[in-house]
Structure 1
Amino acid sequence: MEALFTSAALVALAEMGDKTQLLAMLLATRFRRPAPIILGILVATLANHFLAALLGHSIAGMLDQPWFRYAIAASFVAMAAWTLIPDRLDADEPIRAPSRAGVFATTLIAFFLVEMGDKTQVATIALGARFDNVFAVTAGTTLGMMIANVPAVVFGEALAKTVPMRALQVGAALLFLALGLWMIADLQGWIG
């Protein structure tokens, strides 16, 4: 349960103001069809985050040395700093649905590709390395993505104007920092 809840909380907060959340808002205002957009986000996130969590878990299993655990802890601290940097989508590149693909396929492909190397994917790799449960991490990070992106799809522009994104980014950064420092303290034996 710790893997599920930690993953969901970290990713939900890290996603605030992230480029995939901006993409969700853009798709919602462009296509005005929330159901296929939300389904596309769900499927893309499940696929992307399962692979990321599996990668993290595989690396952790092969490299169960103290230096690797410190690297994972440091990655959480680095994620704290990275979370404070807001993302932007290029307005020059409009999203258009290919005539045969439709809204679902456009969302699925766009989200899967935009998520590559994104903060939340990197966080999922680190969470997969930290926890010994790929499915709980995948479920948690996917839940976090949906918590952040479903309102972005449903409420779009109104949400962007009312939610203090900077406060959410700072909250996410503090969670990443706390997790990284907790891992370092645990490795040092400071936590019983």
Structure 2
Amino acid sequence: MDKSLFWATFVTVFLAELGDKTQLAAMTATARSGALVTVFLAASAALVCATAIGVLVGGALFKVIPESVVKYVAGAAFVAVGLWVIVKG
């Protein structure tokens, strides 16, 4: 296993997930139910499934489309969403 890739991915995903709607949904579910372990396990399983889909799609995508194109499109999509949030927010 590539340790530097592991930690770079861990830090990137961890920082991206802090304070997002997934975390807010987990906090809300916990506050409503009081079931810390159940909410933790369900949220963890959901994140694992979503990540697995991302990894599988990413692996297939990079076989068909050059990495530079995928990075450009992903970056443009993030900018577009940011602008949309500023304009509509």
TM-score exceeds 0.5: yes
- Aligned: 1:36 with 2:38: yes
Q: Which has the higher contact order (CA 8 A, sep 6+)?
A: 1
Q: Percent identity?
A: 24
- Aligned: 1:71 with 2:69: yes
CA offsets, 1:41-96, max 9 Å, x none? 11111112111111011110223xxxx3222332247547857x6xxxxxxxxxxx
Structure 1: runs of 5+ lacking an equivalent: 86-192
CA distance in 1, matches of 2:81, 2:31: 28
Q: Partner residue of 1:14? A: 16
CA distance in 1, matches of 2:5, 2:81: 22
* Aligned partner letter, 2:40: I
CA offsets, 1:157-191, max 9 Å, x none? xxxxxxxxxxxxxxxxxxxxxxxxxxxxxxxxxxx
Seen in structure 2, the aligned counterparts of structure 1 residues 46 and 61 have a Cα distance that, compared at 3 Å, is same
- SS of the aligned residue for 2:19 comes to coil
* Aligned partner letter, 1:62: V
Seen in structure 2, the aligned counterparts of structure 1 residues 39 and 47 have a Cα distance that, compared at 3 Å, is same
CA distance in 1, matches of 2:77, 2:7: 21
Aligned counterpart in structure 1 of residue 63 of structure 2, from 56, 61, 65: 61
Aligned residues: 80
Q: Partner residue of 1:50? A: 52
TM-score, length of structure 1 as denominator length: 0.36
CA distance in 1, matches of 2:80, 2:16: 11
CA distance in 1, matches of 2:40, 2:9: 20
Higher helix share: 2
* Aligned partner letter, 2:11: A
**How far is the alpha carbon of 1:31 from its aligned partner?**
0.7
* Aligned partner letter, 2:55: A
TM-score, length of structure 2 as denominator length: 0.72
CA offsets, 1:117-147, max 9 Å, x none? xxxxxxxxxxxxxxxxxxxxxxxxxxxxxxx
